[in-house]
Amino acid sequence: MKTKNTFWLPAISLLLIWLAHLGGCANTVFEPALPESDADSDGDSDSDGDTDSDSDTDSDTDSDSDTDSDTSVNECEEDLDDCDDNATCTDLPDGFECECNSGYDGDGQVCDDIDECLTTPCATNAECTNTDGDYTCACLTGYDGDPYSTICDDIDECFLGIDLCDVNATCTNTDGDYTCACNSGYAGDGFTCVVSSLLEDFETGTWPWSPWVSVASGGTVSSTYAHDGSRGIMDPGWHYRTDVTFGTTTGQTLSVWARPDSSTDGRFYFGFNASSSGCRSIILAPNTTEFFFQTNTSYGYSAQTSVSQSYTAATWYYIELEYMGGGQYQGRLYSSTMTLLNTVTHNFGTASPGGIAIRAFNGVSIDSISM
Ligand SMILES: [Ca+2]
Ligand SMILES: [Ca+2]
Ligand SMILES: [Ca+2]
Ligand SMILES: [Ca+2]
C-alpha cells in the first residue's frame, strides 16, 4: 500500500535565507521565473515614461522573487526531503511527496518491509522466505517445479533412479519422499540389505516339528495359510526355538509375513530373545488396532511401547524387527507391496539375545520367518 503526502518544510525557509545571502545573484537566478504579466507591466511603464511606477514594479519583483524561489525548490534533488530510504521522492511545485517503494508499506516518511509470506504467495509444497523489500520461494525438499507458480510437484525418486535404496530393495515413491524395503530373501532397512536366511517356511512336517518347542498347543498348517510355497500356519499357541540367536549384532533383523482374517480381531505375537523362561515380542494386533511390543516373561503378557495401527482384513503384512543396539529394538510394519506403514521402537534396557517364538489367535496366518 502506498500513500502520498505533501510536506512544507522549514528547510525551504533555510533555502530562502541562503538565497538572500547570495544577494543580487539570487535575484538574477529567479528573474526568468517572473510572470509575463510583470514584464508587460514593465513595458507599459516604460511607454508611460513613469519612473516611479518602475521603482514600484521593482519592489513588486523583489516580493515575487521570494514566492518564485519557493516553487522552484527541488527538495528531492537538494536532499531536503524527509522521505524514507525505501521511498521515492517526487518534487511538486508546492513541496514534494514521498511514496514507499514496491515491497514496502507506510506513509512515505516511514516505510516498513511487507512480509509477503503472511499471504502465502508461493506454490503449494514451496517455502516462502521474507526478505527486505521482497520475498523468495523455493520448492520443499522432495518437490520440484516453479515455486512461484501454483504447485511444486513431487519428485518420483524411484522412476528417476535417484533413490538411495539398496540394489536388492524395492523403491516406493511417496508424496515428498520415498521408501525402500529389502526384497524377499534380504533383510535390512531398505537402504542396506543383506541376504537373509529362511528359518521356517512351514512347507514340510507335522506341526509342531523340531526345533520348535511347544509351550501351548495349537496351530494349523495348510495351503490356505501360505504366503510363499504351498503351506503356512494359522493361530499357533506359544512355540519357541533356540537353535538361532537374535539380538547379538546391531542391525540384525528378523522378518515374517502375517495375515489377519479380520480388521478388528486377532493378534500375532512375533517373539524374540526367546528361551524356556519367556520372550519379548512385536505384535500385529487388529483387535486393539495397535502395533506394539510386549515383554512375555514366562510367556505372560506385559505391554511396552505401542503405536496405533489399523489393519485390513485378509491382507498380508510384512513385519521386520531390527536390533538397534543398547537394548533397543525397532519393529517395522510393511504392506503386502512393501510400503512402510509404521514403526515402533522400544528400549528393553538389555539386549538379552535369544531364540525366536510365535503365537497367534482368532485367525492370523503366518509364513516365511527369516533372519
Ligand atoms: Ca518542490
Ligand atoms: Ca518482504
Ligand atoms: Ca517422491
Ligand atoms: Ca510357506
Per-residue pLDDT tens over the stretch 244-302: 999 999 989 999 999 999 999 999 999 999 999 999 999 999 999 999 999 999 999 99
User: Counting ligands in written order, which one lies closest to the CA of residue 131?
Assistant: 2
| Cα gap 136→143, rounded to integer Å | 16
**Does residue 159 carry a pLDDT above 80?**
yes
Angle at 355 between CA 354 and CA 360, to 5 degrees: 125
Kindly report which listed range (3-17, 115-129, 155-169) carries the lowest average pLDDT score.
3-17
Q: Rounded mean pLDDT of 43-57?
A: 44
User: Counting ligands in written order, which one lies closest to the CA of residue 77?
Assistant: 1
73 CA from centroid of ligand 1 (Å): 5
What's residue 71's pLDDT? 54
Strand partners, 138: 127
Tens of pLDDT along 193-219? 988 899 999 999 999 999 999 999 999
**Does residue 19 carry a pLDDT above 50?**
no
Confidence of residue 338 (pLDDT cuts 50, 70, 90): confident
Q: Are 176 and 158 in contact (CB under 8 A)?
A: no
| 56 Cβ contact partners less than 8 Å away, ≥ 6 residues apart | none
What's residue 172's pLDDT? 94
129 CA from centroid of ligand 2 (Å): 8
SS3 168: coil
Helices (H), 31-167: 36-48, 51-71, 157-160
6 CA from centroid of ligand 1 (Å): 10
125 CA from centroid of ligand 2 (Å): 20
Angular region, 341: left φ>0, alpha ψ -120 to 50, beta rest: alpha
Q: Rounded mean pLDDT of 118-130?
A: 96
What's residue 22's pLDDT? 37
User: Counting ligands in written order, which one lies closest to the CA of residue 73?
Assistant: 1
**Does residue 42 carry a pLDDT above 50?**
no
221 CA from centroid of ligand 4 (Å): 9
What's residue 168's pLDDT? 94
How far are the Cα atoms of 46, 113, 154, 366 from residue 137, in angstroms, in the given order? 73, 17, 16, 50
SS3 12: helix
**Does residue 63 carry a pLDDT above 90?**
no
266 CA from centroid of ligand 4 (Å): 20
What's residue 57's pLDDT? 44
What is the gyration radius of the CA atoms in the chain, in angstroms? 43
Kindly report which listed range (45-49, 103-107, 267-271, 338-342) carries the lowest average pLDDT score.
45-49
DSSP states of 312-351 as a string? -TT--EEEEEEEEETTEEEEEEE-TT--EEEEEEEE-SS-
User: Counting ligands in written order, which one lies closest to the CA of residue 76?
Assistant: 1
72 CA from centroid of ligand 1 (Å): 6
**Does residue 233 carry a pLDDT above 50?**
yes
- DSSP single-letter state for residue 6: B
| Cα gap 247→352, rounded to integer Å | 7
Which H or E element spans position 96?
strand 95-100
146 CA from centroid of ligand 3 (Å): 17
CA-wise closest residue to 81 among 156, 133, 6: 6
| Cα gap 76→91, rounded to integer Å | 6
Angle at 177 between CA 174 and CA 181, to 5 degrees: 70
**Does residue 4 carry a pLDDT above 50?**
no
Name the residues around ion ligand 4, CB cutoff 5 A: 201-202, 226, 228-229, 367
Q: In the predicted model, what is the mean pLDDT of the chain?
A: 85
Helices (H), 137-285: 157-160
DSSP states of 98-119 as a string? EEEPTTEEESSSSEEE--GGGG
Confidence of residue 53 (pLDDT cuts 50, 70, 90): very low
Q: Rounded mean pLDDT of 72-79?
A: 90
Angular region, 202: left φ>0, alpha ψ -120 to 50, beta rest: left
Residue-wise burial string across 197-228, b where 16 or more C-beta atoms lie within 10 A, e elsewhere:
eebbbbeeeebbeeebbebeebbebeeebbbe
User: Counting ligands in written order, which one lies closest to the CA of residue 158?
Assistant: 3
Confidence of residue 184 (pLDDT cuts 50, 70, 90): confident
What's residue 188's pLDDT? 82
What's residue 313's pLDDT? 98
